[in-house]
Amino acid sequence: MNPREALLSVKGVIERFGDSKAVHSYYLEFGRRFKVLKLIEEIPQAGLNCLRSRCTAFHNFCTLKKMGYSVTAFNVDSEP
């Protein structure tokens, strides 16, 4: 899936599961995210894994998954 299709395909996920900040960020930063995804698309996928802690922008990782990348995202709570 190309970056534009992938980014548009996660819109429903963001609107359904994201808070108002995530939804606002999706629309506000659509252009910037698209440019970054176009750059990432140029990297060969073979053996590439994306790992992110403190996953605040989960739409980035949903989109990368749609583009065919292996994605692992997690949050580590600083409180015991």
| pLDDT by 10-residue block (mean), the chain, 80 residues | 89 86 87 87 66 61 82 67
> Domain map of the chain by residue range?
3-74
Whole-model pTM: value is 0.67
- The Cβ of residue 66 has, within 10 Å, a number of other Cβ atoms equal to 20
In degrees and rounded to multiples of 5, residue 52 shows phi and psi of -145, 130
28-49 as b/e, with b when 16 or more CB fall inside 10 Å? Answer: eeeeebeeebeebeeeeeeeee
Position 46 scores a pLDDT of 56
What does 47-58 look like in DSSP terms, one character per residue? T-EEEEES---H
